[in-house]
Structure 1
Amino acid sequence: MDVVELMDWLAERGCSVVFKADGERGQGHRWMVIVSGGALGTEGFFRADLASAEACLEATLEHLADRQISPFT
């Protein structure tokens, strides 16, 4: 699953999703992902600031799995 597929899957479940690459930030935390609402619940919110898009994707999938939400079922 790639970033766009995950974003689409989450949007279909009512989530708002932002993936951002910020060239003004340092190498260590250039990428950011935010997921809120929808399948995470009205108070649900997840944010990660990491070094790569792949790391953000992995962190998001891990967060979802911890909440028993999975695009793989």
Structure 2
Amino acid sequence: MPSPFITYNISDYFGESIDLNVFDDLESKALQAFKENIASNEYIMALDWQHECYWVNPHLEFERNEFDEWI
């Protein structure tokens, strides 16, 4: 990807199973890191290989589904 894009692969963070506590901890830490490094008027591109990509502003509230996952 061209600069200034950065790709993060978090698949190794979970190993063979998905521990919801680990998932929640990663989500919290990632969101905090994004807030610390992105201005309040900037957006980042969220890429999900199984779904549509979308722009995210970490300073704004995220819409969530019935499973409390980001939409």
Which TM class, normalised by the smaller chain length? 0.3 to 0.5
TM-score (norm 1): 0.35
Please identify which structure carries the higher helix content.
1
Larger Rg: 2
TM-score (norm 2): 0.36
Please identify which structure carries the higher strand content.
1
Larger RCO, structures 1/2 (Cα 8 Å, 6+ apart): 1
